[in-house]
C-alpha cells in the first residue's frame, strides 16, 4: 500500500494525463445485521446535479437510508457530488482515501478521469465499484447499474407505439458517458427496421454534452430550424433532454410530438400526465442504491458479495455486475412504480397547472 502522499500524487498525475441479483430481504441486507467491523469507510462519488436531479434527490437519500439500515453511522461513510467537474471528483476521491475509505462507489463524469480515479484509489488498497456508469477500459472491481441497452430498447418501442410513420430526431446523451452509448445502441437496434423500411426518416441526431438541458434546447431548436419544424417524433435519451424538446416545441407554438425519456423525474411525470411527453424509462433507484450500498458494506466487512450474477466487458476486463431491469412509465402505471417506490411524490408532481391532470386520490 502506498503512503497517502503517493496516492495524492498518483491521482494528480493520472488526472492531468487524462439497475439483478437475488431480491430477497435477506440478500438485500447483505448480511448487514452482522457484528463484523468495517475495514474502513465507504465513499460514494456522485457526478453532478445538472444531468439529472436524481443524484441529490434520490441516489444520495437512498444511499443514506441503506447505510443506516445496514447499521452504519454517519462516520462510516462519505457522499460527495462533483458538480460536473472531473478535477473536483479526483479531489473528492483523494480526500476519501485520506479519510480512510476502503470501498468507493464511483459515478464517473467520463471514462478517462474515472479510470484515473480507479487506478489511484486501488493503489491505496480501495475496492472500486462503478455505480450507474461503467468506466470504459477501467479497472473497477464491480459494477452496479440498470441495463442501459434494454432501457434504450424500451425507448425505441415507446416511440414506435406512438408514431407509425414520420421524420424523427435523436438527442443522445453525453458522448463521454458509456450509459448513453448503451442507450443509443438499444433504441437504434429497435428503430432500425422502421428506418430501413422508410416508415421513419432520420431528420437529425446529435449528442448533448454533459446531458446539459440548455445545450439540448439550443441543439433541438437548430434541428427544428434546419428541418422547417418537420419533426414528428423525438428519441430523447433522458428527461432533461425531453424537457428541452418540449420547451422548444411550446416556444414555437408547435404541436406536441411523441417524445421519450429516462429517469422518471417529477417534471417528466408532469409532462406525461399532461400529454406532453409520451413515456419515460425508470430504474428503481432505491433498489439500485440499496444493492450498491449493501455490496459495499459486504466488501468492507470482509464478507462474500451476494447478488452479483452478471458481467460486463468494459473494453479491458470483464467486470462482475449487478444489473437492474428497466420499466416503461406511462400515465397508467405511475402510481404503482415511481410513486410506490417513494422516488417521487404526488406532492412534487401535482402542483401548479399540472395538478388538474393528477388522479383524484393524488389531489387530496
Q: What is the pLDDT of residues 171-205, one digit of tens each?
A: 999 999 999 999 999 999 999 999 999 999 999 99
Task: Specify whether the CB–CB gap between 138 and 318 falls below 8 A.
Answer: no
User: Do 15 and 101 form a contact (C-beta atoms < 8 A)?
Assistant: no
Are residues 320 and 204 located together in one domain of the fold? no
One domain, residues 353 and 260: yes
Burial class (CB in 10 A: 0-12, 13-18, 19+), 196: exposed
Residue 239 pLDDT > 70: yes
Does 207 have pLDDT greater than 70? yes
Using a 10 angstrom Cβ sphere, with 0-12 exposed, 13-18 middle and 19 or more buried, the burial of residue 59 is buried
Count of structural domains within the chain: 2
The C-alpha cell at 37 is 467491523
The answer to whether 203 and 167 are in contact (CB under 8 A) is yes
Asked if residue 135 and residue 158 are part of one domain, the reply reads no
Question: Does 166 lie in the same domain as 98?
Answer: no
**pLDDT tens digits for 350-360?**
999 999 999 98
- In this prediction, residues 1-20 reach a mean pLDDT of 39
> What pLDDT, in 10s, does the model give residues 258-316?
999 999 999 999 999 999 999 999 999 999 999 999 999 999 999 999 999 999 999 99
> Helix, strand or coil for residue 358?
coil
Distance (Å, whole) CA 155 – CA 44: 29
Residue 275's pLDDT is: 97
Query: DSSP code of 230?
Result: -
3-state class (DSSP) for residue 136:
coil
Looking at the fold, whether 28 and 173 belong to one and the same domain comes out as no
Q: What is the pLDDT of residues 95-118, one digit of tens each?
A: 999 999 999 999 999 999 999 999
Are residues 156 and 233 part of one domain?
A: yes
Alpha-helix runs per DSSP H in 252-316: 266-273, 285-300
d(CA 296, CA 32): 10
User: Which domain does 300 fall in, by range?
Assistant: 4-146+284-324
Q: Are residues 213 and 107 in the same domain?
A: no
Hey, what's the cell of 157? 418501442
The 200-207 sheet, strands edge to edge? 200-207, 166-172, 233-236
Residues 63 and 192 reside in one and the same domain:
no
Mean confidence (pLDDT) of the chain: 91
For residue range 113-150, list pLDDT tens digits in order.
999 999 999 999 999 999 999 999 999 999 999 999 99
Q: Supply the CATH number for residue 244's domain.
A: 3.40.50.2300
Mean pLDDT value across residues 144-166: 97
Q: Which three cell numbers stand for residue 123?
A: 493503489
What's the half-sphere exposure (Cβ side, CA atoms, 13 Å) at 63?
27
Q: 17 with 71, same domain? A: yes
23 shares its domain with 60 = yes
Q: Are residues 202 and 319 in the same domain?
A: no
**Beta strands 233-236 and 318-324, pairing class:** unpaired
44 and 109 housed in the same domain:
yes
Amino acid at each position: 500500500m502506498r503512503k497517502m502522499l503517493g496516492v495524492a500524487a498518483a491521482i494528480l498525475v493520472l488526472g492531468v494525463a487524462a439497475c439483478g441479483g437475488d431480491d430477497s430481504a435477506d440478500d438485500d441486507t447483505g448480511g448487514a445485521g452482522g457484528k463484523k467491523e468495517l475495514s474502513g469507510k465507504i465513499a460514494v462519488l456522485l457526478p453532478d446535479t445538472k444531468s439529472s436531479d436524481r443524484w441529490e434527490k434520490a441516489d444520495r437519500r437512498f444511499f443514506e437510508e441503506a447505510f443506516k439500515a445496514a447499521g452504519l453511522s454517519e462516520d462510516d461513510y462519505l457522499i460527495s457530488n462533483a458538480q460536473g467537474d472531473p478535477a473536483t471528483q479526483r479531489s473528492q476521491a483523494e480526500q476519501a482515501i485520506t479519510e480512510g475509505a476502503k470501498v468507493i462507489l464511483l459515478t464517473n463524469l467520463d471514462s478517462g478521469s474515472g479510470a484515473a480515479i480507479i487506478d489511484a484509489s486501488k493503489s491505496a488498497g480501495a475496492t472500486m465499484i462503478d455505480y450507474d456508469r461503467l468506466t470504459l477500459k477501467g479497472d473497477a472491481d464491480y459494477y452496479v447499474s440498470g441495463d442501459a441497452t434494454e432501457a434504450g430498447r424500451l425507448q425505441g418501442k415507446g416511440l414506435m407505439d406512438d408514431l407509425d410513420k414520420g421524420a424523427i430526431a435523436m438527442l443522445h446523451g453525453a458522448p463521454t458517458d458509456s450509459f448513453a452509448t448503451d442507450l443509443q445502441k438499444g433504441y437504434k437496434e429497435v428503430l432500425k427496421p422502421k428506418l430501413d423500411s422508410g416508415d421513419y426518416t432520420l431528420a437529425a441526431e446529435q449528442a448533448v454534452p454533459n446531458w446539459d438541458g440548455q445545450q439540448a434546447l439550443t441543439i433541438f431548436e437548430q434541428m427544428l430550424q434546419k428541418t422547417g419544424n418537420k419533426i414528428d417524433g423525438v428519441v430523447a435519451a433522458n428527461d432533461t433532454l425531453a424537457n428541452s424538446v418540449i420547451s422548444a416545441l411550446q416556444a414555437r407554438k408547435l404541436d406536441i410530438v411523441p417524445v421519450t425519456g429516462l429517469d422518471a423525474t417529477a417534471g417528466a411525470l408532469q409532462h406525461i400526465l399532461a400529454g406532453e411527453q409520451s413515456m419515460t424509462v425508470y430504474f428503481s433507484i432505491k433498489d439500485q442504491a440499496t444493492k450498491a450500498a449493501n455490496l459495499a458494506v459486504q466488501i468492507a466487512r470482509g464478507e462474500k458479495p451476494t447478488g452479483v450474477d452478471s458481467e460486463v466487458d468494459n473494453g479491458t476486463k470483464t467486470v462482475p455486475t449487478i444489473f437492474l431491469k428497466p420499466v416503461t412509465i406511462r400515465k397508467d402505471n405511475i402510481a404503482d412504480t415511481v410513486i410506490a417506490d417513494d422516488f417521487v411524490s404526488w406532492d412534487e408532481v401535482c402542483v401548479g397547472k399540472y395538478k388538474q391532470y393528477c388522479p383524484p386520490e393524488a389531489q387530496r
